[in-house]
Amino acid sequence: MLLKKQTVWLLTMLSLVVVLSVYYVTSPEQKGSDLAAMEEKAEGEMESVESEDGKAIITNTASDEMFETLRLQLDDERSRMKEDLTAVLGQTDLPAEERMKAKDQIDELNEIAQKEAMLETLIRAMDYEDVLVRADGKKVQITVKAKDHSPSAANNIIQEVRNEIGQLEAVAVEFQVEK
């Protein structure tokens, strides 16, 4: 009779674990404890603070809504592309060459995103309020939010981009007037 009580107790505990697991998986996300979402939210903000030695330190504060919308659209598009490529990676019936090609494309998407973020930080450091960089292969399109603009400012931005990335086919700079 003792064995039956232990079996019932074990089955009860296992069913409790299953019920709690299902609840955890199907429950809505907890926003307060989601650190990744908090970091993503802080990523789009920018602020300049001076350190003790007088050098400017750039940190993040609120960006223009249009810029944020475009960044989110670009991120969504890249995420979809990565999901498709990840699905290709998971197919075992494909040749290894095609799966490696998909992995290389994922790596390239990650590298482009890193270069865009680096260029945005670099151009913001040139004393512009906000910057949006969109890279597509050998072409880079830059939208800068500034009080005033000139061809020499655009040339300075293009030169900095070329110094940082190397030779590109085309670098386009567009200025958007601050409000």
The pLDDT score that the predictor gives to residue 168 is 65
**Long-range pairs for 60-65 at CB < 8 Å and ≥24 separation?**
63/130, 64/129, 64/130, 64/145
Domains of the chain: 63-177 (1.10.287.4300)
Residue type, 142: I
**Model pLDDT, residue 64:** 63
Task: Identify which of 152, 150, 155, 158 has the alpha carbon closest to the alpha carbon of residue 175.
Answer: 150
pTM over 0.85: no
**pLDDT tens, the chain, 179 aa long:** 556 888 888 888 889 888 888 888 887 765 444 433 333 344 444 444 444 444 444 444 444 678 888 888 888 998 999 898 888 888 888 888 888 898 899 898 888 888 888 888 888 888 888 888 888 777 888 888 888 778 888 888 888 888 877 766 688 888 887 66
Comparing CA positions, the residue from 51, 52, 46, 68 lying closest to residue 125 is 46
The reported pLDDT for the residue numbered 43 is 40
Q: Rounded to whole angstroms, how far apart are CA atoms 125 and 121?
A: 6
Structure tokens at 19: 């019920």
